[in-house]
């Protein structure tokens, strides 16, 4: 979809199922470009090549499986980032959050953790396509076995977009990528939060984007893991609509008290993006 001339990468079918944008295509890459694997030098029946930030970022995504949604952008912009931080993206999917963070913050290094081997492969190709090999990597692993993947307190911040639904909530997709991304079949909210807490030192930061209807579950899970919720922001499609998503950032071992920020509104009445969303879609830090 184009809003004010901006082509976006986001689909209507992400983990949060937030209706934001259609599925535009970037120009096919140069077949001789060494950054692009030989098996992926043009769009295929299975994948599209999509663009973000006026083409500064390009992403291969599955046509029928998991596709990045607005949640990706919001999480990357919400997490508190400091110069030189080392960040872990739990459940990294196609690598979109990691790549957006790297594009926004040139001093960061980001590691993505993803369970599904097909998405690990796609994320690796996306990293190479965008020339972020020196600062971004994705490894295959399970958040439920985080101690096998990384040392405790080894990251400054963690960001994640956990599955929003229990296996008994809603219809499971026939596409495995979508099922794992949307439903807690390979890791619960508590599993993701516990993994984040394990990776953080004292005062380390965990930022989560989640379904607004499960805000209480998220806050309880974070406090149980000794990650105290410190910043909260509700996301609304329209100013007069109920919240659809919640953004929460917690600090490991912090004292109790939370800052509730002004709501984030996606659309104006005419369905054009608000100024804040426009800035995000252009890759401007807000």
pLDDT in tens, 233-269: 999 999 999 999 999 999 999 999 999 999 999 999 9
Neighbours of 169 (CB within 10 A): 13
Q: 105 lies in a domain?
A: yes
Q: Residue 188 is part of which domain span?
A: 2-281
Label the pairing between strands 227-236 and 259-260.
parallel
If you average pLDDT over residues 193-221, what whole number do you get? 97
pLDDT per position as a tens digit, 62-98? 887 667 888 989 999 999 999 999 999 999 999 999 9
pLDDT surpasses 50 at 25: no
Whichever domain contains 271, its CATH number is 3.40.50.150
Q: 7 lies in a domain?
A: yes
Task: Give residue for tokens 């009445």.
Answer: 269
* Cα–Cα distance for residue pair 134/123, rounded to 1 Å: 14
Q: 164 lies in a domain?
A: yes
Q: 267 lies in a domain?
A: yes
Backbone angles phi and psi of 60, in degrees to 5: -75, 135
pLDDT surpasses 60 at 29: no
pLDDT surpasses 60 at 6: no
Q: 196 lies in a domain?
A: yes
Q: 142 lies in a domain?
A: yes
pLDDT per position as a tens digit, 127-146? 999 999 999 999 999 999 99
pLDDT surpasses 70 at 22: no
Q: 50 lies in a domain?
A: yes
- pLDDT value, residue 145: 96
Q: Which of 43-47, 199-203, 207-211 has the lowest mean pLDDT?
A: 43-47
* Cα–Cα distance for residue pair 129/123, rounded to 1 Å: 10
Report the number of distinct structural domains present in the chain. 1
Q: 286 lies in a domain?
A: no
């Amino acid at each position: 979809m184009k809003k004010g001339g901006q082509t976006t990468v986001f689909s209507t079918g992400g983990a949060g199922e937030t209706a934001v944008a259609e599925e535009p295509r970037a120009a096919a890459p140069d077949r001789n470009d060494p950054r692009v694997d030989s098996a992926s030098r043009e769009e295929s029946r299975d994948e599209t090549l999509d663009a973000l930030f006026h083409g500064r970022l390009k992403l291969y995504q599955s046509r029928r499986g998991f596709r990045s949604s607005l949640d990706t952008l919001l999480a990357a912009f919400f997490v508190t980032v400091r110069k030189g931080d080392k960040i872990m993206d739990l459940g990294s999917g196609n690598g979109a959050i990691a790549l957006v963070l790297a594009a926004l913050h040139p001093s960061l290094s980001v590691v993505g953790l993803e369970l599904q081997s097909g998405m690990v492969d796609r994320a690796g190709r996306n990293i190479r396509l965008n020339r972020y090999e020196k600062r971004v990597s994705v490894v295959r692993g399970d958040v439920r076995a985080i101690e096998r993947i990384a040392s405790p307190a080894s990251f400054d911040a963690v960001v994640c977009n956990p599955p929003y639904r229990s296996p008994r909530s809603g219809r499971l997709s026939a596409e495995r990528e979508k099922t794992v991304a949307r439903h807690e079949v390979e890791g619960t909210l508590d599993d993701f939060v516990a993994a984040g807490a394990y990776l953080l030192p004292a005062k380390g930061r965990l930022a989560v984007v989640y379904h607004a209807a499960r805000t209480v579950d998220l806050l309880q899970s974070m406090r149980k893991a000794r990650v105290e919720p410190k910043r909260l922001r509700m996301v609304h499609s329209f100013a007069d609509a109920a919240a659809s998503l919640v953004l929460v950032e917690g600090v490991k071992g912090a004292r109790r008290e939370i800052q509730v920020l002004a709501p984030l509104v996606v659309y104006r009445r005419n369905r054009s993006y608000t100024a804040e969303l426009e800035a995000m879609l252009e890759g401007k830090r807000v």
